[in-house]
Chain A
Amino acid sequence: MTDQPTAFERFTQGILPENPVYRQLLGLCPVLAVTNSMQGAMTMAGAVLFVLLCANVIISLIRDLLKPHLRIVIFTLTIATFVTIVDRFLAAYMYQMSKSLGPYIPLIIVNCIIICRCEVCASKQSVLTAASDAIGQSLGFALALASIASVREILGTGMFFGFRVLPKMWPDWVIMVLPPGAFLTFGLLLGAVNWVVAKKKANG
């Protein structure tokens, strides 16, 4: 286990170099579905942070008990437990948000970022490393959601976090808050990120 990344490396890698959305292309369903407003996107990011952190810690604690052929089932059951907690919590305390996010909160269960982190990190490394990995990856996910949601919300409604940032005369680009806007924005941003990465590589 000496060649495994340290806790600090896990944390920093998750944010940019191994950003779950832009570099690993994982968890694209919520990326496309909930990014039409910043509020929804940040709620989703918070939910993923909670679920990923708890799941990683639990899996890391029981990592010596895992049987190889049953591990995916254990991951899924653990994740499902925490997703249910988030889902009920939102329904109780943030009813409107729970309504508008709809099925995408329960769908965190099948969000492959979380299973991926359980498999890659938590099932092999210590609790501290697993926890910092979860926080790093969640921050990377939140950053990606925020970048897409801010473009879509500002162009689509002239608002940011529900506050008007563009003048009243701004013609709302309705298409940006609809599904085509998600695909276009994500595609263009992904292209831009790849362009920057390629340029960095070319410069050494």
Chain B
Amino acid sequence: MSDTNLKKQSLPNKIKPDETGEAPVIQVGHSPHLSNESFTTRRMMIDVLIALLPVVGMSVYIFQLYAVKQMVICLVACLAAEAAFIKMRNKSFSLSDCSAAVTGIILGLSLPATAPWYVGVIASVVAIGIGKVIFGGLGMNLFNPAMVGRAFVMIAFAGLMAASGYESLHTGIDAITQATPLNAFKQMGISTSIKDLFFGLTNGSPGETSALACLVGGIYLCIRRTASWEIPAGIIAIVLIMGGLADLMGSASDWTVLHHLFSGSLLFGAFFIATDPVSSPLTAKGKFIFGAGIGFFIMILRFFSGYPEGVMFAVLLMNALTPLLNRWTIPAAMGE
């Protein structure tokens, strides 16, 4: 959008001193006067797709065809839904900003690999339709679309999406026969080794198992400034503090603060879900508070709720607070 504006504003060629007989006119357009043309939605979204590569690779390595199937279903359904809704609103047809593709891949990585096809399809249509289009399209949505879709199927198909939905004996894949690490700990107090959690040889949503892959992709995103580092920093800081306090208070289990950090979808959510630029605050301070709030709710949900994991609900809760955080942290303009 910004480059079309710039082209419209570059008027000076039209007024030539010879024709008017007056001194040359200096035209001043609106700021920004210099803009980085590479910093577009499309470039950011492609960056996210690149950063997701290690995560996708790891999920395919562990869950094999199941992960591929789930991602393809969500990707195709998201693109089809986006195309249909764009058409309904009589907008020119365009999927080229890749935002629907990112939503699809993230959704595919966050659903159980063995969930039936319709779960992915419904989640995708809800994510794009109710999560995004209803609010007026990309940039206007209050909540992270992928998480809206996931929350919908999570409540609609509780049996398929709860912790037991992740376990299946008939897939021929070792990881899926186990309980997810967080559920094993919550139900039976069984702890998983840090090494397995870090490299990701455990059960879970395809995208979340490997902490290493999430860190590699996430740090790439932060270096490219596609994701704001304040958000994951806030989340991790609060998780370290609250997990550390729980350790110090001598909870007699083997589940230490490092387990909290590397298990579940914490790092995946911190780097890829919470950093959605549309549904997170605008200022650095706001972003840090936003991250801290997510970290706080994740730990509260993990400690006290019936669910083993809380990243999705934590992100949605803090999305709802984003306008408030913006109001608190955006400095008043001079004279106001």
Binding site for B on A (CB under 8 A): 171, 173-176, 178, 180, 184
Is the beta-carbon distance between B158 and A171 smaller than 8 angstroms? Answer: no
Is the beta-carbon distance between B152 and A175 smaller than 8 angstroms? Answer: yes
A-B contact pairs, 8 of them (CB 8 A): A171-B116, A171-B160, A173-B122, A173-B157, A174-B156, A174-B158, A175-B156, A178-B155
Closest A residue to B158 by beta carbon equals A174
Cβ contact of B157, chosen from A174, A178, A180, A184, cutoff 8 A: A174
In the complex, whether B118 has a CB less than 8 A from a CB of chain A is yes
Is the beta-carbon distance between A180 and B155 smaller than 8 angstroms? Answer: yes
- What residues of chain B lie closer than 8 Å to A171, measured between beta carbons? 116, 118, 157, 160
3 closest A-B pairs by beta carbon, nearest first, are: A175-B156, A175-B155, A173-B156
Within B227-273, the residues touching A (CB, 8 Å) are: none
- What residues of chain A lie closer than 8 Å to B156, measured between beta carbons? 173-176
Cβ contact of A184, chosen from B116, B130, B158, B160, cutoff 8 A: B130
Closest B residue to A191 by beta carbon equals B134
Interface of B, secondary structure class, is helix
Is the beta-carbon distance between A174 and B155 smaller than 8 angstroms? Answer: yes
In whole angstroms, what is the CA distance A60 to B85 when docked?
50
Within B181-239, the residues touching A (CB, 8 Å) are: none
In whole angstroms, what is the CA distance A155 to B118 when docked?
14
In whole angstroms, what is the CA distance A176 to B156 when docked?
7
Closest B residue to A174 by beta carbon equals B156
Per-residue contact bits, chain B 100-121, to A (CB 8 Å; 1 contact, 0 not): 0000000000000000101000
Interface of A, secondary structure class, is helix
Per-residue contact bits, chain B 148-164, to A (CB 8 Å; 1 contact, 0 not): 00001001111010000
Minimum C-beta distance from A158 to chain B (A) = 13
Minimum C-beta distance from A184 to chain B (A) = 7
- What residues of chain A lie closer than 8 Å to B116, measured between beta carbons? 171
Closest A residue to B155 by beta carbon equals A175
- What residues of chain A lie closer than 8 Å to B160, measured between beta carbons? 171
Within B117-139, the residues touching A (CB, 8 Å) are: 118, 122, 130
Minimum C-beta distance from A178 to chain B (A) = 7
Residues of B in contact (CB 8 Å), total 10
In whole angstroms, what is the CA distance A152 to B234 when docked?
40
Minimum C-beta distance from B276 to chain A (A) = 21
Minimum C-beta distance from B84 to chain A (A) = 15
Minimum C-beta distance from A6 to chain B (A) = 41
Minimum C-beta distance from A115 to chain B (A) = 32
Known: A171-B160, A174-B157. 17 other contacts (CB 8 A): A171-B116, A171-B118, A171-B157, A173-B122, A173-B156, A173-B157, A174-B155, A174-B156, A174-B158, A175-B152, A175-B155, A175-B156, A176-B156, A178-B155, A180-B152, A180-B155, A184-B130
- What residues of chain B lie closer than 8 Å to A176, measured between beta carbons? 156
Minimum C-beta distance from A153 to chain B (A) = 15
Minimum C-beta distance from A7 to chain B (A) = 41
In whole angstroms, what is the CA distance A178 to B154 when docked?
13
In whole angstroms, what is the CA distance A180 to B151 when docked?
11
Within B33-50, the residues touching A (CB, 8 Å) are: none
- What residues of chain A lie closer than 8 Å to B157, measured between beta carbons? 171, 173-174
- What residues of chain A lie closer than 8 Å to B118, measured between beta carbons? 171
In whole angstroms, what is the CA distance A171 to B160 when docked?
10
Closest A residue to B118 by beta carbon equals A171
In whole angstroms, what is the CA distance A173 to B121 when docked?
13
Closest B residue to A178 by beta carbon equals B155
- What residues of chain B lie closer than 8 Å to A178, measured between beta carbons? 155
In whole angstroms, what is the CA distance A175 to B149 when docked?
12
In whole angstroms, what is the CA distance A10 to B155 when docked?
43
- What residues of chain B lie closer than 8 Å to A175, measured between beta carbons? 152, 155-156
In whole angstroms, what is the CA distance A99 to B157 when docked?
27
Minimum C-beta distance from B142 to chain A (A) = 14
In whole angstroms, what is the CA distance A204 to B1 when docked?
36
Minimum C-beta distance from A199 to chain B (A) = 13
- What residues of chain A lie closer than 8 Å to B130, measured between beta carbons? 184
Closest B residue to A173 by beta carbon equals B156
In whole angstroms, what is the CA distance A173 to B152 when docked?
9
- What residues of chain B lie closer than 8 Å to A180, measured between beta carbons? 152, 155
In whole angstroms, what is the CA distance A103 to B116 when docked?
39
- What residues of chain A lie closer than 8 Å to B122, measured between beta carbons? 173
Closest B residue to A176 by beta carbon equals B156
In whole angstroms, what is the CA distance A176 to B130 when docked?
14
In whole angstroms, what is the CA distance A175 to B160 when docked?
13
In whole angstroms, what is the CA distance A75 to B157 when docked?
45
In whole angstroms, what is the CA distance A171 to B158 when docked?
11
In whole angstroms, what is the CA distance A171 to B159 when docked?
10
In whole angstroms, what is the CA distance A94 to B160 when docked?
36
Closest A residue to B116 by beta carbon equals A171
In whole angstroms, what is the CA distance A115 to B158 when docked?
41
Closest B residue to A155 by beta carbon equals B156
In whole angstroms, what is the CA distance A180 to B158 when docked?
14
In whole angstroms, what is the CA distance A176 to B160 when docked?
16
- What residues of chain A lie closer than 8 Å to B152, measured between beta carbons? 175, 180
